[in-house]
Structure 1
Amino acid sequence: MSDAELVLRSTRVITPGGTRAASVAVADGTITAVLPYDAPVPGAARLTDLGDDVLLPGLVDTHVHVNDPGRTEWEGFRTATRAAAAGGITTLVDMPLNSLPPTTTVDHLRTKRRAAAEAHIDVGFWGGVLPDNVEDLHPLHEAGVFGFKAFLSPSGVEEFPHLGQEELARSLAEIAAFDGLLTVHAEDPHRLAAAPRAAGPRYADFLASRPREAEHTAIALLLEQAERLGARVHVLHLSSGDALPLIAAARADGVRVTVETCPHYLTLTAEEVPDGASAFKCCPPIREAANRDLLWQALADGTVDCVVTDHSPSTADLKTDDFATAWGGISGLQLSLPAVWTEARGRGHGLEDVVRWMSARTAGLVGLDARKGAIAPGRDADFAVLAPDETFTVDPAALQHRNPVTAYAGRTLYGVVKSTWLRGRCVVADGEFTEPKGRLLTRPR
């Protein structure tokens, strides 16, 4: 530890080997050692004693819609990364929509990277798959995107159309040829078209318009294509427990599939959504309490790999009380850790589980696990400091994302993020931010 510049000490440090009292030494932005709690501190190092607050690896959120450039009034990199940092997230991967232009060519990726120049945390990018951009996929891969995003049903924005089955097969074959990763919004458009139309403020009507069968059918078709091509696929924002046996069976047969779900599916239920409260609207939708239990069981048994926010904000005027026309998306960056922790602790899970779902496995999904996702020597010194037994009540006006809309308004949550550190530098502590120093990341070669 003689070369350490910084030592963070806590009675509770979550490491790959478990939670223990430790001193974590940092030099040049990298963890150099995880030592006994009472290890001597070299004279040149700065000691930060965290007491009984828990030192976690910084969270890695691989599903975020920043919307910048083009829809910056919805969100921007500066505000999104402030919210992320305030919530203990130190790395995010930005989705290719709802920005203008979408990240579907190398030129558009360059535009996106320029927009992200002032970020408080590290930022990477997904590329987008459209019906007509197969020739752009390998250049985007070579330019460093972490993988690709496609919709199997309408995306909600006209500049990012969904793929038909032939277009999916063609694009997935191209991506499989260079062993890329395709992430998929899996709802079947035919099942959606056949469902009752949502109109008006009743949440029950909106829920009926996005049936579980739409997810199940689309996932089945995706898994068939992945098995045929030997391709890597990732099911985005799973909300329906009905698809879990299908996914488990495919994985047992060797299909290369991973699955995520989101805090809102794990913590909110259809029964509690008030009519007209479109802050709760997302696609696929928040489902019933019994379905939520299935998702928790799938996290526990490993059928669902990880938890990400799918932060998808908009301006407040787009969140009308008509579920048919309101923008569908949950703003959750700042609250994802306390929301998941609140529900997890009540179900008997520990913070080690939360770290596995929201940091280690997400880092692994995008190939960043050599640098991110764990408190271990050689990893980036990215940390969140959490007071897990403290509570707070969510005040939308106190959130850092651009528009003060949240489905968690008024909820009391466990877990107060005291500070967040990026490569050994404190980026926010007790609500006070330093200047943005995040880096733009590319896929490891």
Structure 2
Amino acid sequence: MTDTTITTREAEDPLERAAVRQGWQDVQHLEDLREGAARRLFAHRWDSERARAKEWFVSPPDAGLLGSFRAMYESPSNITRFRRTLDFVTPGESVFEVGTGKGFLATLLLRDGQVGSYCGGELVPAYARATRELLGVNGFGDRADVTELDLYDLTRERVGGCDLVVCCEVIEHVPDAEAALRALSDALPEGADLLFSTPLLGRLEGIWGHTAIFGVERLRAMTESAGLVVHHVEAVDNTWVLVLASHSTAPSPRARAAAAAVPDPTAVQERDPYRARRVTNVDPHDLEQVKSLWNKRMDLTTERVVTEDEELGDVIGLRITGTPRPDRTGPQYIGLAFPVPPGHRPTLGVRLELEVPHPEQVEKIFVEFTHEGQAVARWSWKPQEARPKRVRPTFVLREGSKGTYFTPSPVEGDIRTADRVEIYAAVTKGEQIDLSLLRWGWIS
């Protein structure tokens, strides 16, 4: 189907347009998750970015110019941001940076980005001076020009004929971020690109120098209002939003090159030993039964039961009936135990379908994996408190999964060592219990 919903400020190329839209969605998801959850859920991505930056980075000499700023500039997060910024630079081109700080990124642009020429503008005179001195210490003074500059006074004449304008971690400091982006857009030379960044929503908001907070809706409105076409957008290190934009809707070679520069973190991802790969279905009727440790003070009977399934046809399971022994006192349990067949070891869990027609008969149902009699994994469910909508619910219990209705218990051990699994139920005092194990699948 052809996408016809193109605004006047979107790229012409459908693949680039789709990538930008996906980038905004990714940023939105990270905003919604907030910092801690996003750091955990996307750990492979962030770790891959940081590892790449660490492998690349060589600290430049500074002759004491950076002082306490060096620790900030060389933090893992900032090094990751600098490394990603360089992916948008083409060797030999001309770069204009707005907001140089003390010149750390400028030094990296000239040293590792191999830009042909560099101009910088910095509002704080002491920082502009420090940038010039740092570039001189690193041997780039003859290829760089740094002046004092207020972003709002930026013009095309001041920018000159550069290929790329960089304004990273600046507009969150200024009094009017929208006006700042419009000034950057107005000063952008014909055919040049703008690369800018802001903190991701929910990040870096404790920094007193930051006076603007950005979400996806604000950033998109800002770029649209500034007359910019976004060619690339992404989150970096779960901390920043990096945006590449220009005045042209034509496909961006810079965006394409930057996108291709990032390695795929899943391509080198180590196999998770608990990552399930298959489920082998077995009729419960065919499971080998061994003596359960949990059939206590109850007479237990099992019988073959056949149920109909529209997709699979007849399903053969087990109907279990437990009758309390009147001559016994104390808690009552029924239990079934099955050895884990050698062909399904190491096991990572089970998929099972249960029918509990009378939840009031059951206080709790357990599924427990053991190794040589010691529990290595356990899940439990209280049917009276949490009743599935389906009469015959299916449960997936495996390592790393919280389960559905069943909840994991804190048990020491490794489920991969399990040689036996037990299903047992704590029976309501004096009640007969009736339940069916209709389907079973080994997860490995």
TM-score normalised by the chain length of structure 1:
0.30
Higher-Rg member (1/2): 2
TM-score normalised by the chain length of structure 2:
0.30
Structure possessing the higher relative contact order (Cα contacts under 8 Å, 6 or more residues apart): 1
